[in-house]
A = this chain, B = another copy of it.
Amino acid sequence: MKIESIGEFGLIEELARLLPEGKDVIKGIGDDAAVLAGRRRDSYLLVATDSIAENVHFRRSSGAYWIGRKGLAVNLSDIAAMGGSPLWAVVNLGIPSGISVRYCRQLYRGMAELAEEFELSVVGGDTFRSPDGIVISVTVIGEVERKRCVFRDGARPGDVICVTGKLGEGRGKHLKFTPRIKEGRYLGESFSPSAMIDISDGLFADLGHICRASGVGAVIGESAIPLAARLRGKSEKVKLRALGDGEEFELLFSLPENEISNLLSSFSAETGTTVTPIGKIIDDQGRRELVGRDGKVKPFPETGYNHFS
C-alpha cells in the first residue's frame, strides 16, 4: 500500500496511534499545536512544528527572504490558532550543495525579522546537506493562559462561525501572510471562542476539522464569505476553487452568539484586521452545508490540499 492511498491525514493518524503519549500532555497530536503542562499552574506550553520543502511548498525563485519567513510564519499561525504567544523557535535547515551563503543569509533574515516582530527567540538549529532541495523544519514553543487556550473540539450548536481577513488571496499571500498572533490573543483575552483553527488546508477542510473534533455540523452562507478583491466578478467555480487552495493562514473560529455584536464593534479597531461571521454551528454532525447565493443548499465542496495526492 502506497502513502498516496491513505493520504496525509491517514498518516498522521497512524503516527498518533503508534506513538506513546503520557506525562504532562494535555493535548497531543490532533490540534494546531500540542498542549503541555506549563511553567505556571495557570499556563500551558504549546508546541507547533511544520516543514516546508522546495518544489512542494515554494520555488527557490520566490526569494530566500520570504521562504525563510514562511518557514517560521506557518508555525506562528499554529500558535495563534490556540490563542497563544510564541516564546522560542528552533530551525532545521536542509541545504542542497551549491546554494550561496548570500541566499542562506537572506533566508535567515526573513526568519529573524519575523521573530523580532513577534518577540520570539530562535534558540537552536541544525543545518544539514539536503541532496535535492531546500527543506525548512521549524518548531515553535509558545505559551497560553489555561483559561484562554482555544482547542478545536469545543464548538457548540448555535455558535457563530467567524473568519479573520479576506479569503482567496492566492499565491502571493501564501508566502507573505502575517500570522494572526495578535488577533488570536485578542480573541482569547476578550471573548470566549469555543473552537479555533488556522486555515491551512482550505476553509471547508479546516471547518471540517473543527466539526469532526467537536462532533457538530456547520452551515455557511456563501455570500457571507469575505473574498479577496481579485475574485470579484469571477465565476462561482473559480471562487470555490480558490477557497479550497488553503494556505490562507487566517483564523477560523466559533463564538457564542451573544458575543458577536461586541466582536464586530471592537475587533477591527483593536487588531487592524477585519472579522466576518460566515455561518453557524449546528447539532447534526453529518451536515456540512453551503447555502449558495441562489438560496440553494449544497454540501461542502470536496477541496483541501493533500500533500500525498
Whose C-beta in chain B lies nearest to the C-beta of A52?
B128
Known: A20-B116, A87-B24, A92-B49. A12 touches B125 (CB 8 A): yes
Q: Is the CB of A25 within 8 A of B88?
A: yes
- Cβ of A37 within 8 Å of any chain B Cβ, yes or no, is yes
- Cβ of A208 within 8 Å of any chain B Cβ, yes or no, is no
Chain B residues lying within 8 Å of A139, measured Cβ to Cβ, are 47, 49, 90, 139
Whose C-beta in chain B lies nearest to the C-beta of A132?
B132
Q: Which of A98-106, A239-247, A252-260, A271-279 touches B? A: A98-106
Q: Is the CB of B2 within 8 A of A99?
A: yes
CB distance from A41 to the nearest CB of B (A): 10
- Cβ of A270 within 8 Å of any chain B Cβ, yes or no, is no
Chain B residues lying within 8 Å of A14, measured Cβ to Cβ, are 101, 104-105, 108
Known: A88-B34, A90-B139. A129 touches B53 (CB 8 A): yes
Q: Is the CB of B39 within 8 A of A122?
A: no
Chain B residues lying within 8 Å of A126, measured Cβ to Cβ, are 49-51, 137
Q: Which of A3-11, A162-170, A177-185, A296-304 touches B? A: A3-11
List residues of A (18-42) whose CB comes within 8 Å of B's CBs. Answer: 18-25, 28-29, 33-34, 36-39
- Cβ of A133 within 8 Å of any chain B Cβ, yes or no, is yes
- Cβ of A269 within 8 Å of any chain B Cβ, yes or no, is no
- Cβ of A155 within 8 Å of any chain B Cβ, yes or no, is no
Whose C-beta in chain B lies nearest to the C-beta of A90?
B49
Chain B residues lying within 8 Å of A20, measured Cβ to Cβ, are 112, 115-116, 120-122
- Cβ of A130 within 8 Å of any chain B Cβ, yes or no, is yes
- Cβ of A197 within 8 Å of any chain B Cβ, yes or no, is no
- Cβ of A307 within 8 Å of any chain B Cβ, yes or no, is yes
Q: Is the CB of A47 within 8 A of B132?
A: no
- Cβ of A223 within 8 Å of any chain B Cβ, yes or no, is no
- Cβ of A95 within 8 Å of any chain B Cβ, yes or no, is yes
Counting contact residues on chain A (CB < 8 A from B), the size range is 35 or more
Quickly give the copy total for this chain. 2
Known: A90-B34, A101-B6. A18 touches B112 (CB 8 A): yes
Q: How far is A55 from B122 in the complex, measured between Cα atoms in Å?
A: 28
Q: How far is A54 from B243 in the complex, measured between Cα atoms in Å?
A: 36
Chain B residues lying within 8 Å of A38, measured Cβ to Cβ, are 39
List residues of A (124-161) whose CB comes within 8 Å of B's CBs. Answer: 124-133, 135, 137, 139, 141
Can you list 22 A-B pairs, Cβ within 8 angstroms, ordered by A?
A2-B98, A3-B98, A4-B97, A11-B127, A18-B105, A24-B121, A25-B121, A29-B124, A36-B87, A36-B88, A37-B39, A38-B39, A39-B39, A47-B123, A47-B139, A49-B125, A50-B126, A51-B135, A53-B128, A53-B131, A129-B308, A130-B133
Extra A-B contacts (19), CB below 8 Å, given A5-B101, A14-B105, A130-B133: A2-B99, A3-B97, A11-B101, A11-B104, A15-B127, A19-B115, A23-B121, A29-B125, A36-B87, A36-B88, A51-B94, A51-B135, A56-B129, A97-B308, A129-B308, A130-B135, A135-B135, A135-B137, A137-B137
